Amino acid sequence: MSDGVDLPTPVLDDHLHLDPDAGRGLDAVADFRRLGGTHLLVVNKPSWQLGVEADEAADFDAVFERTLAVVARADEMLPGRAWPVLGVHPGLVSRLVDDRGIAPDEAATLMCAGLERAATYVADGRALALKSGRPHYDTTDDVWAASNRVLRHALSLGAREDCPVQLHTEESEDLSEVADWAAERGLSPERVVKHYAGPCLDGPTPSVMARTEWLRAHAERGEPFLMETDFVDDPDRPGAVMGPKTVPRRTRLLLDEGYEAAVRRAHVETPRTVYGVDTLATLER
């Protein structure tokens, strides 16, 4: 497939969302491909944004199945691969507690059950990784404790299923405590991925927002990192957080500036280490 720009490397966007019904969906994939993108990790949208107000674990299946369907179609459009990442958005705790009056512990139990459902998709090979985390905004002590319970459970599931866990958390340059939680449960901290990472991070593997200055900082550091847009595919927020063309464009910029080794780390070496995927070999399908 060569209907657009081709870069001399695989190009992986580690975290974005696709909504084939209300958003741009596969048009966003086409934009990514035209600029040289080859591989995607597609994370399910928050359950409530797909019209699912979960009362029990099985309710999350509708979210996961819709994600698998759009990923399968994206996979056909790319010269590489698209893989699904499934889980429960940590912001659900606030919808359950604040909007529905559910106690924090009960909310955590439902969210853990949803993660168990997501783990079955990893177990049968239909998903590559899990997604979890904790609120990135101020909340009560009870909600914070419940959210950390959910996060730790996700790490336990990652260890059980031998899969990575992507985390949506507060802004931080030090999540070494979370990395320690993963290690205690038998999950290598390098397989814990901090989605929406900034220029510095201790603990998990950073999935760096594709801001030029942040990418240069990681390129200079010489350590493993991934690149992402967190494209949310929300018609009310077009282009948010970054558009699907951004990772290919920033990859070209890094190449033009002589950061070939960093590009290889972001698009070949770190995906292999974290996810067990070969972005070079999958270009040869």
What pLDDT is recorded for position 23?
Answer: 87
* C-alpha neighbours within 13 Å on the C-beta side of residue 258: 1
What pLDDT is recorded for position 6?
Answer: 86
What pLDDT is recorded for position 3?
Answer: 57
Alpha helices in the chain (DSSP H): 26-34, 61-77, 92-94, 104-123, 141-161, 176-184, 212-221, 246-256, 260-264, 270-275
* Among the listed residues 156, 82, 144, 72, the one whose alpha carbon sits nearest the alpha carbon of residue 118: 156
What pLDDT is recorded for position 115?
Answer: 98
What pLDDT is recorded for position 239?
Answer: 61
Q: Which domains does the chain have, with CATH numbers?
A: 12-284 (3.20.20.140)
What pLDDT is recorded for position 1?
Answer: 45
Enter the pTM of the model. Answer: 0.96
Which stretch of DSSP H or E encloses residue 227? strand 226-228
> What length is written for the chain?
285
Is 138 within 8 Å of 129 (Cβ atoms)?
no
Q: What tokens does 130 get?
A: 């899990």
Question: DSSP string covering 169-224, please?
Answer: ----SB-HHHHHHHHHTT--GGGEEEEEE-S--BSSEEEEE--HHHHHHHHHHTS-
* Among the listed residues 16, 5, 12, the one whose alpha carbon sits nearest the alpha carbon of residue 242: 16
* Among the listed residues 91, 96, 187, the one whose alpha carbon sits nearest the alpha carbon of residue 132: 91
Residue 280, exposed/middle/buried by CB under 10 A (0-12, 13-18, 19+)? middle
CA distance 75 to 81: 5
Written as tens digits, the pLDDT of the chain (285 aa) is 455 778 999 999 999 999 988 889 999 999 999 999 999 999 999 999 999 999 999 999 999 999 999 999 999 999 999 999 999 999 999 999 999 999 999 999 999 999 999 999 999 999 999 999 999 999 999 999 999 999 999 999 999 999 999 999 999 999 999 999 999 999 999 999 999 999 999 999 999 999 999 999 999 999 999 999 999 998 877 666 899 999 999 999 999 999 999 999 999 999 999 999 999 999 965
CA distance 246 to 182: 31
**Cα radius of gyration (the chain):** 18
Integer angstrom CA distances of residue 155 from 88, 147, 162, 244: 13, 13, 10, 29
| CA 225 from centroid of its chain's CA atoms | 13
